[in-house]
Structure 1
Amino acid sequence: MPTALTTESSQPDRVSKHADGRFGYIPVQTRSARFKSTNVSDFDTVTGREAVWKYIPVAKFTDLLSGDLNGSPYEFDVTSAADITVEWVERTDPRIGGAGAPEERASANAWTGFEKALAITVSGEEAKEITLSRSLLGSSARGAHTIIEAKPFSQATIILQNSGDARLTENVEIILGDSANLTVVTVQEWDDEAVHLSNHFASVGRDARLKHVVVSLGGRIVRVSPSVCLAGTAADTELLGLYFADSGQHLEQQVYVNHDAPKSRSRVNYKGALQGKGAHTVWIGDVLIGNKAAGTDSYEQNRNLVLTEGTRADSVPNLEIETGDIVGAGHASATGRFDDEQLFYLQSRGITDEEARRLVVRGFLTEIVQKIGSPDLEARLLLAIEAELLTTDGK
């Protein structure tokens, strides 16, 4: 097992002595300064009061935070396409650690515990698509690691399809060479009691473009946290998210975009709907425009549609700018109920109240689906949204 990588020498908050002799905690002042390590023992025990954990019920997955994990290779199904290889590789593979490192304990536990990484390698300039499906992970605590590498000038769409039962913490590294064009879609349609904690780390090279899509529909607790570093000049990323929480579900996304090179561009657009008692969604969006990122163009937004009483949507956009030489930067967040004018318009044309509400929600979420770029997957997700809308009690 290789030596763990630690990129900072201390925990996120540090103790400092004030002038009056008292001690106090000084919080991290910028997103990029968070503590990182691939060794789980470098992280303190999670209490649920930490900023990264304060929205999620940590007591329901303590086995993923500090327990022993099954890190062995698992069964999967994958479609085939020219110029895409899928294979298990050893922990010594030089690509491991090339896109990022854990910033929290569950991610570090997965990194410490995996035996082999699943490597998806894309080459060739022709567009192609594969779907990798996992449905037999089982109910024991598991850790996993995936590498997706797009060689320079390559093009592909990679769909990661998740279903069945699971108690999984994992890391996914996405590495784009110069001028690569890659779409990565992760679809969570887990069984009702599944728990899934996933951290995606992406590094985007010069003139490369990454479209990253998170679709979360099933599972008891699901958190997918994409972290994208625009490392090359004119790197571009579009981060899209779609989620629909029912009664008792917790669906969370913590998004981070780091503009670390000139003339980079990012667009973040996440949309979610909630129905049923105890449905809870969380979206946290961090964007950092570094001091080397002159000419940056960035915008992030989150929209939530509340369909019933008893739900909760937390939405927290954050923007840090370290240079004044930018094209534009902004962020927006909104959570609300149905638009009464839209409902009135539809009902005035003979559409029933129930059908009018379904049409409004369908139109609200379809914007994200139609941007995925995979016709078969888009059609299937629209059917899944219809099924959610027919469950009006959220059960």
Structure 2
Amino acid sequence: MTTPSTPTQTQDSPAPAPTHMRAPVPVQTRSERFTSTQVADFPDVTGREVMWKHTPVARLAELISGELDGSPYVFDLTPAPGVTASWIARDDARIGAAGIPEDRASANAWTNFEQALLVSVSGDDVKEATLTRAALGGPARAAHTVVEVAPGAHATLILQNSGPAHLTENVEFLLGANANLTVVSVQEWDDDALHVAAHFAELAEGARIKHVAVTLGGGVVRLNPSAHLAGARADAELLGAYFADASQHLEQQVYVHHDGPETRSRVTYKGALQGEGARTVWIGDVLIGPKAVGTDTYEQNRNLVLTDGARADSVPNLEIETGDIVGAGHASATGRFDDEQLFYLQSRGIPEDEARRLVVRGFLFEIVQQIGSPALQERLQSAIEAELAVSVTAAS
């Protein structure tokens, strides 16, 4: 990261302000943010930093700066041909190949994990596996996972999270040439759970990733996925669906870096909020680098506020460093129910409360139905129905 030089003082210009009085110069390019695997390299988090200003940092203090248990934990992996899991040492060359931390919580996890969980995927036959974590417990914990997808391999990997947890972690996805991975990260934590995660994806030539984040549970959940489209014709689709209840904070900071030529990305996140203090945050950064000629990208975020007292923040950002692209765009919208949709349904005899549920159901199911796993889609649809049953009739 570069810092501005101090201007030369002349007789007509005032003396520069002391260094401690100057406002920090923001980093305008996402790829130029400071990164490190050591938590001590990051200053204390105040909540005024650009990457933390929307986050309830006081609630996450133990994960950002506290002592963490980095020992291996209990997990379950459903059997699938060509999918294996094992623990690897910190000095394994694959660790850090997809990305390294750009915030203190991610670095705290990196500094403290003892071994990384390696999930290896091979074979060109289509397969599905589920990695379940449901017994992490209450003490603050660090974790690191590496998902390595061999060239030409094709799989769906479900990361199922539930139960109690105070967890900060890093997850890396390494996709070889022409690999195809659908990864679905499902957060159904207990109501008081805390979860901070950084997901890094590195895509070789012709690789494709569909990353789906579904967050329905947890007190504070901050899941930040990033995709580096390094190889030519790499393709990334980042999808998200979330439902925030009273006092629940759900946050996503998405980053897509187009680096190779003729790469493509689509980012679509949709969320619903209800209850006093329900809060969601979505920040989408797309960087088209100088070598990424022929890029085709679009990102969007939609939020549906169901009751008073809920708040959604949505910030799309787009930076282009080459003029030779196919297309680039972004969109963001936050609003309440569509009165015309409600009127249409009620005019056909559907009661208002049921009409509201139908609107929200269709709004979120657009994301869920793109997962590609019928059993998981059905289960998530039932979970969303349960959320809707709590109270959508209070919307104004």
Q: Same fold (TM over 0.5)?
A: yes
- Cα RMSD (Å): 1.3
Q: Deviations over 1:187-234 (max 9, x none)?
A: 000000000000001101101100000000000000100010000000
Answer whether contact 1:277 1:394 (CA < 8 A) is retained: no
Q: For residue 212 of structure 1, what is the amino acid of its counterpart? A: H
Name the CA distance, whole Å, in 1 between partners of 2:61 and 2:365. Answer: 36
Q: Does the alignment pair 1:188 with 2:177?
A: no
Instruction: Compute the displacement of 1:158 (Å).
Output: 0.6
Name the CA distance, whole Å, in 2 between partners of 1:326 and 1:285. Answer: 19
Query: CA 1:393–1:333 in 2, change beyond 3 Å: closer, same or farther?
Result: closer
2:110 corresponding residue in structure 1: 111
1:149 corresponding residue in structure 2: 148
Name the SS for the 1:35 alignment partner.
Answer: coil
Answer whether contact 2:216 2:243 (CA < 8 A) is retained: yes
Q: For residue 368 of structure 1, what is the amino acid of its counterpart? A: I
2:320 corresponding residue in structure 1: 321
Q: Deviations over 1:57-112 (max 9, x none)?
A: 11112111111110000001110101111111111111001000000000000000
Number of residue pairs aligned between Structure 1 and Structure 2 = 384
Q: Deviations over 1:220-273 (max 9, x none)?
A: 000100010000000000000000000000000000000001000000000000
Instruction: Compute the displacement of 1:51 (Å).
Output: 0.7
1:365 corresponding residue in structure 2: 364
1:265 corresponding residue in structure 2: 264
Instruction: Compute the displacement of 1:18 (Å).
Output: 4.2
Q: Does the alignment pair 1:17 with 2:14?
A: no
Unaligned runs of 5+ in 1: 1-7
Query: CA 1:297–1:393 in 2, change beyond 3 Å: closer, same or farther?
Result: closer
Q: Deviations over 1:143-201 (max 9, x none)?
A: 00000010000000110000000000000000000000001110000000000000001
Answer whether contact 2:306 2:392 (CA < 8 A) is retained: no
Q: For residue 135 of structure 1, what is the amino acid of its counterpart? A: A
Instruction: Compute the displacement of 1:17 (Å).
Output: 3.0
Answer whether contact 1:144 1:168 (CA < 8 A) is retained: yes
- The aligned runs of 1:306-317 (5 Å cut-off) are 306-317=305-316
Name the CA distance, whole Å, in 2 between partners of 1:269 and 1:89. Answer: 34
1:163 corresponding residue in structure 2: 162
Name the SS for the 1:192 alignment partner.
Answer: coil
What's the TM-score once normalised by structure 2's chain length?
0.95
Answer whether contact 2:159 2:185 (CA < 8 A) is retained: yes
1:376 corresponding residue in structure 2: 375
Q: Does the alignment pair 1:347 with 2:336?
A: no
Q: For residue 229 of structure 1, what is the amino acid of its counterpart? A: H
Q: For residue 344 of structure 1, what is the amino acid of its counterpart? A: F
Answer whether contact 2:356 2:392 (CA < 8 A) is retained: no
Name the CA distance, whole Å, in 1 between partners of 2:135 and 2:5. Answer: 48
2:197 corresponding residue in structure 1: 198
Name the CA distance, whole Å, in 1 between partners of 2:5 and 2:64. Answer: 28
Q: Deviations over 1:316-374 (max 9, x none)?
A: 00000000000000000000000000000000000000000000000001100000011
Percent identity, aligned pairs only, is: 66
Name the CA distance, whole Å, in 1 between partners of 2:42 and 2:238. Answer: 28
Name the CA distance, whole Å, in 1 between partners of 2:312 and 2:192. Answer: 21
Answer whether contact 1:185 1:213 (CA < 8 A) is retained: yes
Name the SS for the 1:326 alignment partner.
Answer: coil
Deviation larger for 37-46 or 16-25:
16-25
Name the CA distance, whole Å, in 1 between partners of 2:241 and 2:60. Answer: 24
Answer whether contact 1:278 1:312 (CA < 8 A) is retained: yes
Name the CA distance, whole Å, in 2 between partners of 1:199 and 1:219. Answer: 16
Unaligned runs of 5+ in 2: 9-13
Name the CA distance, whole Å, in 2 between partners of 1:393 and 1:45. Answer: 40
Q: Deviations over 1:35-65 (max 9, x none)?
A: 0000000000000110111111111121111
Instruction: Compute the displacement of 1:27 (Å).
Output: 1.6
- The aligned runs of 1:84-123 (5 Å cut-off) are 84-123=83-122
Name the SS for the 2:326 alignment partner.
Answer: strand
What's the TM-score once normalised by structure 1's chain length?
0.95
Name the CA distance, whole Å, in 1 between partners of 2:322 and 2:48. Answer: 32
